[in-house]
Amino acid sequence: MIRDVKIGNKKIGLGHPTYIIAEIGANHNRSLDIAKKLIDKAAEAGVDAVKFQTYKAETLYSQRTPKFSKDNINPFDLIKANELPREWHRVLFDYAARKNLHFLSSPFDYAAVDELDAVGVLAFKVASFELIDLGLLRHIAQKHKPILLSVGLATLGEIEEALEAIRSQGNNDIVLLHCASLYPSPPEVVNLKTIVTLSKAFQIPIGFSDHTLGIHVSVAAVALGAVVVEKHFTLDRTMKGPDHSFAVEPNELKQLVTNIREVEQALGTGVKVRSTAEQEMYEKGRRSIIAAVDIKKGTIITKEMLVVKRPGYGIKPKYIDTIIGRTTKKDIKADYWVTWDDI
């Protein structure tokens, strides 16, 4: 039995509403006003949490790191230009709380962990690239708050090592987030069935951090058992910045939430039963045995006197050979269903 993880008043696990995170990341463009507008729109969409990222270029990248081949950008310079001012933590935490949202931020250094903990974050989200920094994981685990751990690029062995590091500090409140570490992620690298694999392998809640374009892959992840969905979010995809182009806009985020909630309802219990709402269709849409002609009382029924069609008020079609040769107890009008009381 996979145990639930609780973040604030939200239970995370199978049978509970999907915990939906609007990943703002660096899409605040170092504007507090934009950051607040993003929180406003996330609240309107109906998500559970907003998430930022807390890093410093000096503690994240060596300045000697080669440029990214895709856009010829120096990683150190890219990070430096998009650092979240840490004095915003309290402001954004309080602002999100007023909107009934959880404020989360991924820490990328020890100081960030301590600062976010002091603000009162209810959980820590760890980026997939940091999974192999076991010292950082142990430091986060020591705060004894739930950990959402992305596992993009990781082998099952590396995930096991990360889990051992966290659990060594007495922290067992862990959710793994499957993801592909490309931005955006083309569908062919996403491998959603890994959600099932991770669930079987580690017996803990599994979510999905989605870097694909659109919202449909996130919805499919929920159908496969993801109990957390994280999706990059922006006010406008045409804005300048590293994460805007593959993020969803406010109307799409709202549609994502709606679609996930509908899929949750559609998944049901897995027990094959007829719903109460289907009763009328069960009665009128199914077939039964119908009189093909007027049949008088005392008549021996022949096959030619019967037809099978809708509605389903009469004897089920599988019994047609059973009633052939029996005698009617009452008159049966043509095109009326035949019941057991009639024979």
Average pLDDT (57-76) is 84
Lowest mean pLDDT among 70-74, 155-159, 258-262, 294-298: 70-74
> For residue 200, is pLDDT > 90?
yes
**How many of the other CB atoms lie within 10 Å of CB of 341?**
7
**How many of the other CB atoms lie within 10 Å of CB of 111?**
13
User: Could you tell me what percent of the chain has a pLDDT over 70?
Assistant: 100
State the pairing for strand pair 306-309/288-291: antiparallel
In order of their start, the domains of the chain are: 5-267 (3.20.20.70), 276-342 (3.90.1210.10)
Average pLDDT (139-156) is 98
Locate 252 and state its tokens.
């799409």
The confidence score (pLDDT) of residue 141 equals: 98
The confidence score (pLDDT) of residue 79 equals: 81
The per-residue pLDDT for range 28-42, each reduced to its tens digit, is 999 999 999 999 999
Average pLDDT (259-269) is 95
> For residue 300, is pLDDT > 80?
yes
> For residue 70, is pLDDT > 80?
no
Give the whole-angstrom CA distance, residue 184 versus residue 188.
Answer: 12
Average pLDDT (39-65) is 94
> For residue 68, is pLDDT > 90?
no
Rounded (to 5) percent helix, strand, coil in the chain: 40, 20, 45
- pLDDT band at residue 80 using 50, 70 and 90 as cut-offs: confident
Q: What pTM was estimated for this model as a whole? A: 0.90
The confidence score (pLDDT) of residue 67 equals: 87
Higher per-residue confidence, 1 vs 341? 341
The confidence score (pLDDT) of residue 65 equals: 87
> For residue 311, is pLDDT > 90?
yes
Give the whole-angstrom CA distance, residue 29 versus residue 218.
Answer: 25
- pLDDT band at residue 204 using 50, 70 and 90 as cut-offs: very high
- pLDDT band at residue 62 using 50, 70 and 90 as cut-offs: confident
> For residue 71, is pLDDT > 80?
no
> For residue 57, is pLDDT > 90?
no
Q: Are 15 and 265 in contact (CB under 8 A)?
A: no
The per-residue pLDDT for range 84-130, each reduced to its tens digit, is 999 999 999 999 999 999 999 999 999 999 999 999 999 999 999 99
- The single residue listed with the structure tokens 């022949």 is 302
The confidence score (pLDDT) of residue 239 equals: 94
Give the whole-angstrom CA distance, residue 226 versus residue 195.
Answer: 7
Amino acid in position 38: L
Helix 250-267 to helix 216-223 angle, to the nearest 10 degrees?
A: 20
Q: Are 214 and 3 in contact (CB under 8 A)?
A: no
- The single residue listed with the structure tokens 């000096």 is 58
The confidence score (pLDDT) of residue 112 equals: 98
